[in-house]
Amino acid sequence: MLKLKALYVVLLGAVSLVDSTTVQNITSDTYFYGQSPPVYPSPVGKGTGDWASAYAKAAAMVSKMTLEEKSNLTFGIPSETNGCSGNIPPIARLGFPGLCWQNAGNGVAATDFVNSYPSGLHVGASWNKALAYQRALAMGGEFRTKGVNVALGPVVAPLGRIAEGGRNWEGFSNDPYLCGSLVFETVRGIQERGVITSTKHFIGYEQETNRIPSTNLAGMSVNSVSSNIDDKTMHELYLWPFQDAVHAGSGTIMCSYNRINNSAGCGNSKTLNGLLKTELGFNGFVVSDWYGQYAGVATTLAGLDMTMPNEGFWGSSLVASINNGSVPISRLDDMVTRIIAAWYKMGQDKGYPAPGAGIPVDILKPHMAVNARESASKEVLLDGAIEGHVLVKNIKNALPLKSPKLLSLFGYDTKAPDQNNPPSGLTPWAFGFESANILEALPGFLGTPLTVQLSQIAINGTIISGGGSGANSPAYINAPFDALQERAYRDNSTVLWDFVNVNATAAVDGASDACLVFVNAFSSEGFDRVGIHDDYSDALVNNIADQCSNTIVIIHNAGVRLVDQFIDHPNVTAVIFAHLPGQDSGRALVSILYGDSSPSGKLPYSVPMNESAYNSLLSPSLPTPPFNLFPQSDFTEGMYIDYRAFDAKNITPRYEFGFGLSYTTFFYSNLQIDCIACVGTRSIAEYPAGAILEGGMEDLWDVLVKVTATVENSGSADGAEVSQLYLGIPGAPVRQLRGYSKEAIPPGKRVTVEFDLTRRDLSVWDTTRQSWKLQSGTYTVYVGGSSRNLPLTKTLKI
């Protein structure tokens, strides 16, 4: 979702919205990878499990509503009393106060007195479920205090299929298991504070390029990209984290701008009625992405329950479609029941702040200060910032620093952004867009911002988040420069810097103990990145390394970032992927640099040797003939993205998925498998047979195998290790992440780590039977510290 509403209106206004059937004008079905099959009618919400009483209360309220009142709950209206990203009006006579919707998945956006939490990618790099849950609780408290009924997040699509995807940083990881486990904790934590989560963007939303309908340079309508995904890949990759979000009880799911198999995300009966509402037993409601409703009756019948941020194709037309019989009233009743049930389910009927109470209409005008920051969040913010840093190179004992007397600092990413108070009045929004000018990038959505080189980086200062609607609002920014200066004060040491000269003219004091070079890889909603390295930053690093024998590189990266142009420089002694740490960026980094904490993050993606490792999954596909007007993106690689592809093709990555260094070492031993489902133990059915609860058939979550291993801190420093379990399923990718556990372990101590493998974890999607299938055969269990460092292996037979 994007805040530049006016721009959208302009773009959409110029577009004649084309239904997928028109496509057949320019081609025949045979040209297509797939067409979405019709799934009707839209399933009526059942209110399973702990939704039962919310559904009963909702049904009672809905029974008192007039047709127009019901209709009015299905679309957004402008508000004169708050600045929320979206508003659903109240029905005062029934005691329903309305709903305020606000960005975003990584903290309350576009307002004051809130915190900026680490972004999704940073949380992914932390591999810490408990911390993800604590972060969600803390963020949820802020949304609640601000009177936000629905938080516009978390994000699990894009998953990260395309390395350059502009919004990959909003989500956790391109591995569905890691992503799914963290979205589960996030939904649970936010909703525990009574805030409805809007897990997004359903589904196959993997590129910004052509994400929405537009007009090309010839003035012709170009439809949104179609993500053409086969059924197996859909289930085992893209639907997987949504399944976890639904299992956690996500109150609403946001449908996406893109099309899936040539049918719009918010009008696709197969994905909405079929996958989400039937197969996953979703009790909540489906909301459109902002201006993402491209048709009227068709979307109503396909399972869309609410359109945002205005009446879209509904309003009086929805009422008319009920009156003329093209939409049954039962569909509208279901839409409204799902919406009101979500509100009751979170307990918003009791003691909830008024919608938008803490979100002023105009932040620049005098307004009441509503402080949403809680003291308990302080620790979560700092720990979250620390744990998402991933150390990938550390030679000559460069780190931790040993009481340095003189540090020299270089790079545009060292200090807080230059311009801290742009005209919008809010730092984060603008600094998100600072270098890559979104206004240049939007028309045509061809993903090629004009200033190609600089658009990859945020040249005016350090980044703590990406840009666009997912950017959040810091209470302050503690930049690396700030924290290092403070440390120099404490230590009576010296820091020198040069942020102006970027090449050989940058002077390095010859007595420097270390030179720290800060660069970034920026990314934003609205356009895809134009590369995964940039020559400008790489030259900056090399120029310092040429002059300084202890050069430490810190990269704030909103996605995969190559290091090939400087990694082998003998003077580059350490490299940290610092991701997007939120407002405590600097002090988190200093804690790691000085060894107050050992780095414990691991990569939630692979870093390849170079661009060519990605093949087609680098640049998002552009419309090509004969589909110029109907861009197609065929997901022909299936399951094989990131490490699944590298493993299958035997491509050696620079740094593999799950890799990250520590200041200590860990030793793995004693792999034990307790296989409840194994041959000779108990006969287990091939297919699940349980009732459909939230997230699908309930027995999909039965634990069929328990694995334990011993992990010892075999070094001399404190540290935390992310133990990872990969599973080789017959006929599936070589190995797939199916368990992980992060434990702090003192030197010389051992812990037992446990991994529970559920029926879903062990199964594959059977396209014929349309069910998860537990195959008979031999499975390999691997346990270790990364996807390619797996010292423990055993097989089991099911």
Q: How far is the CB of 544 from ligand NAG (least distance, A)?
A: 9
Q: How far is the CB of 72 from ligand NAG (least distance, A)?
A: 4
Q: How far is the CB of 377 from ligand NAG (least distance, A)?
A: 28
116: phi then psi, degrees, rounded to nearest 5: -100, 110
At 773 the three-state DSSP class reads strand
Residue whose CB is less far from ligand NAG, 741 or 771: 771
At 337 the three-state DSSP class reads helix
Residue whose CB is less far from ligand NAG, 172 or 202: 202
**Alpha carbons 109 and 84: distance in angstroms, whole number:** 10
Residue whose CB is less far from ligand NAG, 128 or 256: 256
Residue whose CB is less far from ligand NAG, 440 or 546: 546
At 108 the three-state DSSP class reads coil
Q: Could you tell me which residues are beta bridge partners of residue 721? A: 743
| Side chain identity at residue 156, one-letter code | V
Q: How far is the CB of 372 from ligand NAG (least distance, A)?
A: 26
Residue whose CB is less far from ligand NAG, 330 or 752: 330
At 700 the three-state DSSP class reads helix
> Does residue 335 contact residue 305 with C-beta atoms inside 8 Å?
yes
> Does residue 590 contact residue 488 with C-beta atoms inside 8 Å?
no
> Does residue 115 contact residue 351 with C-beta atoms inside 8 Å?
no
In the complex, the residues that contact ligand NAG under the rule CB under 6 A are: 25-26, 34, 36-37, 68-69, 72, 77, 229-231, 260-261, 270-271, 296-297, 317, 320-321, 324, 326, 418-419, 422, 430, 434, 459-460, 491-492, 502-503, 505, 546-549, 570-571, 608-610, 612-613, 629, 651-652
Q: How far is the CB of 540 from ligand NAG (least distance, A)?
A: 8
The order of strands in the sheet holding 99-102 is 86-88, 99-102, 150-151, 196-202, 252-255, 285-288
Residue whose CB is less far from ligand NAG, 551 or 583: 551
Q: Could you tell me which residues are beta bridge partners of residue 87? A: 100
Q: Give whole-number Cα distances, 216 to 14, 623, 772, in Å.
A: 11, 10, 43
The token duo for 216 is 């090309």
**Alpha carbons 713 and 662: distance in angstroms, whole number:** 11
Question: Using alpha carbons only, how large is the chain's radius of gyration in Å?
Answer: 26
Q: Which single residue is written with the structure tokens 């790489």?
A: 538
Residue whose CB is less far from ligand NAG, 69 or 686: 69
Residue whose CB is less far from ligand NAG, 26 or 60: 26
Gap between the terminal Cα atoms of the chain: 45
**Alpha carbons 280 and 698: distance in angstroms, whole number:** 10
Residue whose CB is less far from ligand NAG, 24 or 48: 24
The token duo for 653 is 């990555």
Q: Could you tell me which residues are beta bridge partners of residue 779? A: 796
> Does residue 428 contact residue 116 with C-beta atoms inside 8 Å?
yes
Q: How far is the CB of 295 from ligand NAG (least distance, A)?
A: 9
> Of 118, 120, 194, nearest to 154 (Cα)?
120
Sign of the CA dihedral with 85 first, then 141, 288, and 297 last: negative
Q: Could you tell me which residues are beta bridge partners of residue 744? A: 720
**Alpha carbons 384 and 394: distance in angstroms, whole number:** 22
Helix (H) or strand (E) holding 692, with range, is strand 692-693
Q: How far is the CB of 646 from ligand NAG (least distance, A)?
A: 8
Q: Beta strand pairing status for 150-151 and 196-202?
A: parallel
Residue whose CB is less far from ligand NAG, 385 or 617: 617
Helix (H) or strand (E) holding 766, with range, is strand 764-766
**Alpha carbons 727 and 622: distance in angstroms, whole number:** 35
Render 477-543 in DSSP notation, one character per residue.
---HHHHHHHHHHHHT-EEEEESS--STTS---TT-SEEEEEEEE--BTTB--S-S--HHHHHHHHH
SS3 letters across 357-370: CCCCCCCCCCCCCC
Q: How far is the CB of 523 from ligand NAG (least distance, A)?
A: 16
Q: How far is the CB of 608 from ligand NAG (least distance, A)?
A: 6
Q: Could you tell me which residues are beta bridge partners of residue 782? A: 726, 793
The token duo for 357 is 């109470």
Q: Give whole-number Cα distances, 206 to 186, 441, 620, in Å.
A: 21, 17, 8
Q: How far is the CB of 279 from ligand NAG (least distance, A)?
A: 11
**Alpha carbons 536 and 527: distance in angstroms, whole number:** 20
Burial group, residue 304, by CB count within 10 angstroms (0-12, 13-18, 19+)? buried
Residue whose CB is less far from ligand NAG, 27 or 670: 27
Residue whose CB is less far from ligand NAG, 145 or 408: 408
**Alpha carbons 179 and 160: distance in angstroms, whole number:** 10
Q: What are the catalytic residues?
A: 289
Q: How far is the CB of 173 from ligand NAG (least distance, A)?
A: 21
Q: How far is the CB of 234 from ligand NAG (least distance, A)?
A: 6
> Of 396, 410, 529, 411, nearest to 460 (Cα)?
411
Q: How far is the CB of 351 from ligand NAG (least distance, A)?
A: 25
The token duo for 565 is 């142009």
Helix (H) or strand (E) holding 551, with range, is strand 551-557
At 380 the three-state DSSP class reads helix
Residue whose CB is less far from ligand NAG, 197 or 226: 226
Residue nearest to ligand NAG (CB): 34
